[in-house]
Amino acid sequence: MAETGRKMALAVGIYLIAKNVLNLILGFSVGNVITLLAAGVIFVLLYKRVPYTNYIIAVYLGILFIAHFCTNIMNLGNGWVYWLYLGEGILDLGAAVLLAFGKDIKAYYKQ
């Protein structure tokens, strides 16, 4: 159970890094570089099992989803990139739910 939780937590960390690399490719900016570095830090925090980071990262991902959801929905007709961003948002929300409520991830953090 804890081993499955570890794999799930690391998969979320890898997803965040991949997401930010994609965002960096779609539009290079200093902000995207900073969020890529933050995703690397998040991966390390998940790997090291720093207490409560799963909840903190879940809240962060939930806030990201809420902050960008309306913009992505309103701009769906303006190009395929907003469909991609909407998909990212849905994956962010799924990752947040997994980190906050996944019993395997909770078991990983209780070890």
Q: What is the pTM of this model?
A: 0.87
Task: Residue 12: name the closest of 78, 105, 83 by CA.
Answer: 105
| Percentage of the chain modeled with pLDDT above 90 | 78
Residue 55 is encoded by which pair of tokens? 């909840």
Task: Residue 98: name the closest of 20, 21, 7, 36 by CA.
Answer: 7
CA 43 to chain CA mean position, Å: 10
Note the pLDDT tens digit of each residue in 19-70.
999 989 988 889 889 999 999 999 999 999 999 999 999 999 999 999 999 9
40 exposure class (CB count in 10 Å sphere: 0-12, 13-18, 19+): middle
How far is CA 17 from each of CA 21, 32, 34, 35, 76, rounded to the nearest angstrom? 6, 11, 11, 9, 24
Rounded average pLDDT over 80-108: 93
